[in-house]
Amino acid sequence: MLERWFNRNGSTNGTSNGRYRNGNDHLIDLRQVSKIYETDAGTFAALKDVDLQVDAGEFVAVVGKSGSGKSTLINMITGIDRPTSGEVLVGDTAVHTLKEGQMAVWRGRHIGVVFQFFQLLPTLTVVENVMLPMDFCNVYAMRERHEQAMHLLGRVEMTDHAHKLPTAVSGGQQQRVAIARALANDPPIIVADEPTGNLDSKTAESVFRLFEDLVDDGKTILMVTHDHDLAKRATRTIILSDGAVAEIGQVVRARIMENMDRTEERERA
């Protein structure tokens, strides 16, 4: 599956102007993306003409204060929400043009989503939760799904808990299961929204190391986080402020994030 996404050339759309079908040279390409919400208090611009490119194999951290547009940004990429204007190109797909039925199938095959609060189905066992995306997208033969799910649980060190219900394991273990579920259909992209926000520091570190291993294996990861120490270890950091995005170099980025930490400490005080 990864080979289909990464081994591109100009012949995919009969032209030489782009690596992917819609002319985008990057695996993820947001072009002038805005998102406007209508509220009782009036219009609210969650994103403002955002341009963002992410290449295959990158580990990108998205940081910013509450309300800066972080979750809205990743919702544009995953197709959970749609832009008011602009284009969202992911691989060969113009995500913003997909209909609802197409969106769910596309997401299930190409994007693995990890949530802060795990979102495991409580009445299914751990291994059944991991198999669920396979059942939905019909990616593997029925007889192969349990074996594939057990393989993924082994990768996140959860094999011994495969037949337990989610409530029988710890929060950190549930997040590991959620990561295994996100990998179920071998998607090239993992999008994580505050995946360590509900975990203690030791467990958060182990989850982050697992993400690093996935990047080493060729996955592309976008991670929204409030943990600036973890964000500094990503290959690139995107800082959002009032719906606008700024891509910051490594040295300057560290200084800005330190200033953000001090600002948040003052606000908490």
Question: Do the domain assignments include residue 198?
Answer: yes
Residue 257: per-residue pLDDT: 55
Cβ(128)–Cβ(209) below 8 Å: no
Residue 57: per-residue pLDDT: 93
Cα→Cα distances 5→55, 91, 229, Å: 11, 6, 31
Residue 268: per-residue pLDDT: 65
Q: First vs last Cα of the chain: how many Å apart?
A: 49
d(CA 177, CA 169): 10
Domain that holds residue 63: 56-81+99-268
Residue closest to 158 by CA, chosen among 140, 181, 136: 181
Question: Do the domain assignments include residue 179?
Answer: yes
Residue closest to 77 by CA, chosen among 234, 238, 267: 238
The domain that holds 174 is classified in CATH as 3.40.50.300
Is residue 224 classed exposed, middle or buried when 0-12, 13-18 and 19+ CB atoms within 10 A define those classes?
buried
> Taking the CB of residue 43, how many other CB atoms lie within 10 A of it?
9
The number of domains in the chain is 1
Question: Do the domain assignments include residue 18?
Answer: no
Residue 258: per-residue pLDDT: 57
Question: Do the domain assignments include residue 42?
Answer: no
Residue 40: per-residue pLDDT: 84
Question: Do the domain assignments include residue 15?
Answer: no
Residue 260: per-residue pLDDT: 57
Question: Do the domain assignments include residue 76?
Answer: yes
d(CA 111, CA 54): 14
Task: Enumerate long-range contacts of 45-52, CB under 8 Å, 24 or more apart.
Answer: 45/243, 46/72, 46/243, 47/72, 47/73, 47/76, 47/83, 47/243, 48/242, 48/243, 48/244, 49/86, 49/244, 50/86, 50/243, 50/244, 50/245, 51/245, 52/28, 52/238, 52/245, 52/247
Which of the residues in the chain have pLDDT under 70?
Answer: 1-18, 247-269
Residue with tokens 């330190």: 258
Residue 261: per-residue pLDDT: 61
Question: Do the domain assignments include residue 45?
Answer: no
Residue 16: per-residue pLDDT: 42
Question: Do the domain assignments include residue 47?
Answer: no
Computed from CA positions of residues 232, 207, 214, 222, in that sequence, does the dihedral angle turn out positive or negative?
negative
Compute φ and ψ for 111, nearest 5 degrees: -130, 130
Residue 54: per-residue pLDDT: 93
